[in-house]
Amino acid sequence: MPRLLSGIQPTGELHIGNYLGAIKNWVLLQGSYETFYCIVDLHAMTTPYEPKEMSQRTLELAKALLACGIDPQQSVFFVQSHVKEHTELAWVLMCLATMGELSRMTQFKEKSSEQKGHATAGLFTYPVLQAADILLYKAEVVPVGEDQVQHLEFTRDVCRRFNSRFGQFFPEPKPLLSKTPRIMGLDGQTKMSKSRNNHIPLLAAPEEISSLLKGAYTDPARLRRHDPGHPEICNIFTIHKGFSTQELVSSIESDCRTAGIGCTDCKKILAENMAKSLEPIRERYLRLNDSEVLEVLCAGATKAQSVAKETMKQVREKIGLLLV
Ligand code: SF4
C-alpha cells in the first residue's frame, strides 16, 4: 500500500469543522494506505501559545483522535516532537529552500500580518518543517485541503532539489485532494474555528449541539418561513451532508427551495443526526484514560522513530557529513 502522511496541530479542542474536513477522512483512509498520523506540536509553536497547556492539549487531541477511530493497529500514530529526526531533516531542507520561495507562501503572509511585526523565523520556515514531516517517512501521498496545496507544492520542489543535488532518494509526494467541503462557522462569516468562537465542539453533548445550532446563520434570503431558500449557500445544508443520509440531504435540498421545510425544523433534524453520529465518539473519549493514550503514543513513536532513524542515516551519508 502507498504510504500516506498527515498531521494535525494541538491548538485547541476539536470541532466539527476539523472532523468533517480531515479526521473523518483519516479514519476512512486507514486500510487503503499505510497511514502515518502525527500530532504536530512543533508546528503549534510557530504562533503564540501557552506552554502550560501544550502537553495537555496534545494528550486530549490524541484521545479525541483515537475516539474518532484512528486505529493504532492500522496507523502509525505519534507526536512529532517524539521523533527528533523531524527537526534534523528540516535543517537539511532549510539549506535547500530559498528565502524567496518561503516569502511567497500565502499562509505566512496571512499569519504574519495577524502578528504585526512579531512573526517568528519558525513561522517563516513552517513549510520546511512540513516538508521534513512528509519526506522523513518517504510518504507518497498527502491528503490536502485547498489551503495546503501551496505547501505541498513547496515540498515537491524541495524534494526534487534534494534528489537532483544528492541523488535520487525521496519519492515525490502526491496530493490527495480532499472532496470535503469547507465548513463555515456558526456566524457564517469565516471558517469554523475555536479561536473565533463560532464552532460546535466535536465532543459537545446533544443539548449543546442543539442549542448552538439554534443560533446558527442560514440563508439570509429566508427572512420568513415561506420564503424559498438556497441550500447551496447555507452552511447548515453543508453540515447536513456530513451527518445525514443522501436521501435526507436530497429531500432537504428540494424542500428548502420550495419552502417546504423551515430552518428551525431543518436544524432540529441536523441536531438529532449529529448527536447520533457523535455520541459514540463522545462515549469512547470518556472511556479512554490518560495512561492508555500515553502508551499508544509511546508505541507509535517507537514505530515512527525506526523509519525516521533509517531515513536520516542515509540522508547524512548522501549530504556528505562525517559519520562515526
Ligand atoms: S431550510 Fe435548512 S438548508 Fe434551507 S436555508 Fe434553512 S437551514 Fe438552510
C-alpha cell recorded at residue 30: 486507514
Are residues 277 and 263 in contact, defined by beta-carbon separation less than 8 angstroms? Answer: no
- Ligand 1 atom closest to the CA of 237, numbered from 1: 3
Cα 87 to ligand 1 centroid, rounded to whole Å: 47
**Closest residue (by CA) to atom 1 of ligand 1?**
263
Cα separation of the two ends of the chain? 35
| pLDDT greater at residue 144 or residue 92 | 92
Place 117 in a pLDDT band, splitting at 50, 70 and 90: confident
Nearest to 4 by CA among 19, 16, 25: 25
**pLDDT for 148:** 85
Place 178 in a pLDDT band, splitting at 50, 70 and 90: confident
Note the CATH number of domain 3-183+289-319.
3.40.50.620
111 catalytic per annotation: yes
Identical fold at 3-183+289-319 and 206-285? no
pLDDT digits (tens, 9 = 90+) for 120-161: 999 999 999 999 999 999 999 999 887 788 999 999 999 999
Sequence-distant (6+) residues with CB within 8 A of 117 are none
Cα 262 to ligand 1 centroid, rounded to whole Å: 7
C-alpha cell recorded at residue 197: 468562537
**pLDDT for 114:** 83
Cα 188 to ligand 1 centroid, rounded to whole Å: 13
**Closest residue (by CA) to atom 4 of ligand 1?**
256
3-state secondary structure of 269: helix
Average pLDDT over residues 84-103: 97
Q: Which of 219, 240, 244 to mutate to test the pocket of ligand 1 (most atoms within 8 A of CB)?
A: 219
What percent of the chain lies above the pLDDT cut of 90?
85
Tell me the HSE value of 185 on the side-chain side, using a 13 A CA sphere.
12
One of 174, 194, 241, 268 is an active-site residue; which one?
194
Report the range of poorest mean pLDDT among 2-11, 28-37, 105-114.
105-114
Which residue ranges make up each domain of the chain? 3-183+289-319, 206-285
Report the range of poorest mean pLDDT among 118-122, 164-168, 250-254.
118-122
Distance CA 36, CA 38 (A): 7
Pocket of ligand 1, beta carbon within 6 A:
218-219, 222, 229, 231, 234, 236-237, 252, 256, 261, 263, 266-267
CATH architecture assigned to 206-285: Orthogonal Bundle (1.10)
Mean pLDDT score across all residues of the chain: 95
Place 2 in a pLDDT band, splitting at 50, 70 and 90: very high
pLDDT digits (tens, 9 = 90+) for 261-296: 999 999 999 999 999 999 999 999 999 999 999 999
**pLDDT for 118:** 87
Average pLDDT over residues 178-186: 84
**pTM for the structure as a whole:** 0.93
Cα 229 to ligand 1 centroid, rounded to whole Å: 6
Is residue 179's pLDDT more than 80?
no
- Ligand 1 atom closest to the CA of 234, numbered from 1: 8
Are residues 25 and 64 in contact, defined by beta-carbon separation less than 8 angstroms? Answer: no
Q: How far is CA 299 from the centre of its chain?
A: 22
The dihedral over CA atoms of 147, 150, 151, 155, expressed in degrees to the nearest 10, equals 150
One of 24, 138, 174, 191 is an active-site residue; which one?
191
pLDDT digits (tens, 9 = 90+) for 19-61: 998 999 999 999 999 999 999 999 999 988 999 999 999 999 9
Place 89 in a pLDDT band, splitting at 50, 70 and 90: very high
**pLDDT for 13:** 85
